[in-house]
Amino acid sequence: MSRVELNFDVIKENWCYYSLKDGAILKVKIILVRLFNDGVDSKGIPTMGFLATNVMGVIPYGETINKKALSADDDVGFEVKTEIWNEYQADDGTTITIKPVIAQVMRTATLDPNGEPVYTASIQPLIKINKTLVIQK
């Protein structure tokens, strides 16, 4: 099997937003960095490889919420506000859509330069592939 890197264009890349139970807003974006056509597997099914990166930020909750409401390393808990699929178009006609799936958000004991808590999150990409068939005449 021969791996071929594909060029692609960004159709849309949006932030996804999550309401944290301590009052902050988590924003997450998964960005496709590299895309590979890996050929076909032993059953003849096309396979692709990806390299993506997570970008995460927190919109602080302001003065109305007690910053000490949770202790460090607590599972914060969250609700989805907005999840939008990012979309990419490869040169071979393949459309790739990606969105984050968040399993857990933790608030750490570390504070950023603004005095706001730093968070960590367990984030995985959910990827859909739509291969456009090209009929040769």
* Model pLDDT, residue 62: 61
Cα(77)–Cα(107) distance, integer angstroms: 10
Q: CA 97, CA 19: separation in Å to the nearest integer?
A: 23
pLDDT tens sequence for the chain (137 residues): 578 999 999 999 999 999 999 889 999 999 999 999 988 888 877 788 999 999 999 998 765 455 555 566 678 899 999 999 999 999 988 999 999 999 999 998 888 898 888 899 999 999 998 876 544 44
Task: Please report the sign of the dihedral spanned by the C-alpha atoms of residue 39, residue 43, residue 45, residue 51.
Answer: negative
pLDDT of 73 reads 67
pLDDT at 137: 46
Cα of 81 vs its chain's centroid, Å: 15
Are 30 and 123 in contact by the 8 Å Cβ rule? The answer is yes
Place of tokens 């995460």: 56
Cα gap 42→45, rounded to integer Å: 7
